[in-house]
Amino acid sequence: MDYSTNVTYLTLAGHVELEKHRYVYFIITLIVYLLIICFNAVVIYVIYINKSLHEPMYIFIAALLLNSLCGTTAFYPKLLNDFLSERQVISYQVCTFQAFLIYTFATSEFTLLSAMAYDRFVSICKPLQYATLIKMSTVRKILFISWFLPSCENSVGLILTYQLKLCQFKLNRIYCDNYSIVKLSCEDTLVNNVYGLFVLIIAVVPPVVFIIYSYIRILVVCIGSSKDFRRKALQTCLPHLFIFINFSMNSCFEVINNRLQSSIPLIISVILSVDYLVIPPLFNPIIYGLKLREILNKIKMAKIQENK
């Protein structure tokens, strides 16, 4: 066998634990993927067609949900195909590209969540400056940075990984991630590991610190404000705070699981590895669709018009 990056296929060995009931898993996965598409698309569409919702807060929500759609599309179609296939394999080129897309989704998610925290911070702590600080041109720049920088960071990681020579061809996963691919190499991977840690720190630590700082400032303002003000601030911030905690915890589980993969049963590792690709994209649109009154009212109005 050619021990080089010209390897034709890699085996996704994580499917071994799912083989016995693969058709059941296929049906469940298909339903979840369709729900993710429908839920996210409905909220995005409602925001898009209603000009009254063309405000920074709702634009950031739509961008977050669109990012979820892109990230899950890099994962679910391949997974569904594998459940129906006798051999769960993936070409090396497609494997590295899938890892790039999933990593870009995850790092963009943190950037978008920090942008949403900034929007809430300004609207609550500096309401008189909101129109000046959160202009549409600023929103466009933030969105550009949210997708462009993660793409650049992960492109460098992809290039570094693609240059490695492999001496193993089995991933104990059901999808590709950069860290697992690097571990298949028979070369020195110090540069890859250092760069991967650098990207992880840069992509996660500043957004998390900024979000925590923003909510501390918001809490301080709310303590000294009226009951009605606190209620409105809580209604605005709780969905975002819940989504941030949810995504952070699921991403943390994935990072820890990836490093301790050999220390835990494979089936547990497989379940933990997909949490951040299943739970946030599925529940984010539900949370915003139910908690944000304006979006919920628009959805109800659309249904009433359809029934007439």
d(CA 272, CA 173): 11
Kindly state the percentage of the chain with pLDDT values over 70.
89
Q: In the numeric block, which tokens belong to residue 173?
A: 């996963």
Q: In the numeric block, which tokens belong to residue 77?
A: 């179609």
pLDDT class for 293, splitting at 50, 70, 90?
Answer: low
- Residue 1 falls within a domain, yes or no? no
Q: What is the CATH number of the domain that holds 62?
A: 1.20.1070.10
pTM, to two decimals: 0.86
Q: What total number of domains does the chain contain?
A: 1
Residue 291 has pLDDT above 50, yes or no: yes
pLDDT at 270: 76
Q: What angle do CA 112, 154, 40 make, to 5 degrees?
A: 40
Starting at the edge strand found earlier in the chain, the sheet holding 170-171 runs 89-91, 9-12, 170-171
pLDDT tens by residue, 242-290: 888 888 887 887 777 776 665 677 777 777 778 888 888 988 888 887 6
pLDDT at 304: 66
pLDDT at 67: 94
Average pLDDT, the chain: 84
- Residue 37 falls within a domain, yes or no? yes
- Residue 213 falls within a domain, yes or no? yes
- Residue 79 falls within a domain, yes or no? yes
Q: What angle do CA 261, 208, 249 make, to 5 degrees?
A: 35
Q: In the numeric block, which tokens belong to residue 170?
A: 């089995």
- Residue 244 falls within a domain, yes or no? yes
Domain with 70, as residue range(s), is: 9-307
Nearest to 99 by CA among 300, 285, 258: 258
pLDDT at 298: 62
- Residue 3 falls within a domain, yes or no? no
pLDDT at 240: 84
Residue 229 has pLDDT above 50, yes or no: yes
DSSP letters along 101-114, please? HHHHHHHHHHHHHH
